[in-house]
Chain A
Amino acid sequence: MSEPFKTVALMKDLMSRYYDLGEEARRKGIPVVWVTAVFPVEIIYAMDLYPYYPENFGALASARKVADKLSMAAEAKGYFNDLCGYARCGIGDAYASEHPVGKILSPDLLLCCNTQCGSLPKWFEAAARFYNKPYFLWDSPYIEEQTSDLKQNYLIKQLYELINFLEVTTKRRFNIDKLREVVALSREATGLWNDCLEMAALKPAPFGFFDACIHMAPIVVWRGRREAVEYYRELKAEIEERLEKKIYAIPNERHKVYFDHIPVWPKLRWFADMFAANDTLVVASQYTQAWAMNFDPARPLETLAEHYPQQFVNRGVDYRLKLKVDFMRRYNCDGFVLFSNRSCKPNSIGLYDKKRMLTEMTGLPGVIFEGDMSDLRFFSEGQVKTRFETFFEQLG
């Protein structure tokens, strides 16, 4: 990880403002709407509702190393420790008597999209029963290679249903022009986010994956609002400034590698230091790239229906392999890392085959490590380290 960015202070302000707005919404009677991370939040913002991200709560609990404590509260209620770590944190906090990262904000409505996985709908369904609030699923069909008119129409039709659901439950009017404005802001922010990520391709690079993990919170929660645009404009300017001053992401960049997935949040610093000590910069991940979308504000509903369901997790193996290879080429990678994440089955399936195929396609060495994005009970430092050290020996 680079020496701290000045914008980190700005981000902290922005994030505490986001949480304050949640409390304020509750006080003022503005509906608190639970949404999944890859969901057309633009519609929520266009209706002046407050979107709350339970996954973000999970990531926060994970980064603060309390996922195990919250998870055990869920496990005590019969939720198995093999479930998604974020879900275990969110469900655990709902039952827990102690709230080490603050209490998860209870929903007035729950909106979920299944483009990321099958666990989120189950979590949201359980939460809808627990809080006894209305739940809406935006059902995304699996999109192997190309989408079809049938699928696209199905997705758009459901967005109309969603809008109807929101108008009825919140008694607020939806306005398509407002949505256009929000989508335009979303597009601007995601474009700037993409610009920041692209700078990891420079050698040496001023910005890498672990920096992106620190700076990604606003693109998740503020996307669609002017705050996100302003934040990423600042961040981009700061990266450019650091580039001019020759301040790089790691002191001595020799290798670039692609990291396929989410980080191990409670070990973010440990991973960043390990890569830096081996002169290796992690440059890209399909995870941080998931919010680098390119919307068309002129066709707001259509563009949302195109982008969100076409996320990598909802795609066929061939597409996903091509996507990874494309990242490795664009960022001039020397190797790749695959993360067998106990919390995330859709991302962890078939990794040994994927590794072999990726090596055949690129000629690059890869490493697979086991762990959990949230819960350190499923992380064995010594064994992970041995795998990575062998990988670094392979990189040379």
Chain B
Amino acid sequence: MYVAGMDIGSIFSKAIILKDGQVVASLIKRTGGEIKAISHRLMEEALAPQGLQIDDLKSVVATGYGRISVPFADKQVTEISCFGRGVANSFPEVRTVIDIGGQDSKGIKIDERGKVQDFVMNDKCAAGTGRFLEVMANALEVSLEDMGPLALQSGSPEEIGITCTVFAESQVISLVGEGRRKVDIVAGIHQAIAERIHGMLRMLRIEERIAITGGGAKNIGLVKELEKRLGTELIVPEEPQLIGAHGAALLALEMALGRKGS
């Protein structure tokens, strides 16, 4: 029996196919353009190597900000619940999930089954999100993937204020103009973003262990800065961006088996 989870994020869209509960295919693509068309294309592409079509899926759960625009989904579930479920499946010891997505960063407290106990999200502001890192990478003409490793090379990070992405960007441009070292600016950016996320997390009563998910988890500089502030090692899943889609797929499986969904 095949089921699928689909996570349409603001920057990336993700799909996971489960066969009898095991992951048999996954795919990550940039979101962009019309979500209905993208979700179709992405799902078809993920299914093709299995020789399957969308109709062969017993159940599909969609999540992420574009969840309501996935035409073939049987159910929409918020990414907060899906990330909780996805993390608990691989790491039942996790009680707090930090999810750094494109337009949101979130702190999610879960029980051992991944059920959401409490959560916090950023306000409608991009500071502290994946989009912030992307804007800074562009301003510095550094690829997004290189940002994290570069941050680790600095011995004296620049001070960067981060109440606002737009202000921080102009600050970064000024620092570049003054001839400051790129690695120090990048390190400063990571400190600032970690500070912002940590501030938000303090609104929750953080319990260990803590996992980090979403595109931001692939940034080693950010992970290290958060670990410093939290005073503990973070669990980074192998494919942190796929956790939401995986959680959605697990909920789809529960639906298909007739168990109560989240």
Contacts and interface: CB of A to CB of B under 8 A. Distances in A.
Contacts of A380: 124
Contacts of B121: 383, 386-387
A394 interface: yes
Interface in B73-109: 76-81, 104
A393 B124 contact: no
A55 interface: no
Contacts of B70: none
A390 B124 contact: no
Nearest to A389: B78
A386 B123 contact: no
Nearest to A388: B78
Interface string A347-390: 00000100010010000010010100000001010110011011
B79 A394 contact: no
B116 A393 contact: yes
B78 A370 contact: no
Nearest to B77: A393
A387 B262 CA distance: 15
Interface in B195-245: 203, 205
B81 A386 contact: no
Nearest to A394: B116
Interface string A199-227: 00000000000000000000000000000
A325 B239 CA distance: 43
Given A390-B80, A393-B262, A370 B205 contact: no
Contacts of A390: 78, 80-81, 116, 119
Contact of A386 (B80, B116, B118): B80
Given A387-B121, A393-B78, A352 B116 contact: no
A382 B262 CA distance: 21
User: Contact residue range for chain B?
Assistant: 10 to 19
B65 interface: yes
Nearest to B115: A394
A378 to B, nearest CB: 8
A370 B80 CA distance: 17
Contacts of B120: 352, 368
B81 A356 contact: no
A386 B79 contact: yes
A352 B118 CA distance: 11
A167 B169 CA distance: 60
A356 B204 CA distance: 8
A389 B76 CA distance: 10
A393 B81 contact: yes
Interface in B113-168: 116, 118-121, 123-124
Contacts of B116: 390, 393-394
A56 B81 CA distance: 40
B205 A356 contact: yes
Contacts of A368: 120
B67 to A, nearest CB: 9
Contact of B65 (A352, A370, A386): A386
B33 to A, nearest CB: 18
Interface string B250-262: 0000000000001
Given A393-B116, A393-B262, 16 more contacts: A352-B120, A365-B118, A368-B120, A370-B123, A380-B124, A383-B121, A386-B65, A386-B79, A386-B80, A386-B121, A389-B78, A390-B78, A390-B80, A390-B119, A393-B77, A393-B78
21 contacts: A359-B118, A365-B118, A370-B123, A370-B124, A378-B124, A380-B124, A382-B65, A383-B104, A383-B121, A383-B124, A386-B79, A386-B80, A386-B104, A386-B121, A390-B80, A390-B116, A390-B119, A393-B77, A393-B80, A393-B262, A394-B116
Q: Which 10 A-B pairs have the closest CB atoms?
A: A380-B124, A352-B203, A390-B80, A390-B78, A389-B78, A370-B123, A393-B81, A386-B78, A383-B124, A382-B65
Interface of B: 65, 76-81, 104, 116, 118-121, 123-124, 203, 205, 262
Interface of A: 352, 356, 359, 365, 368, 370, 378, 380, 382-383, 386-387, 389-390, 393-394
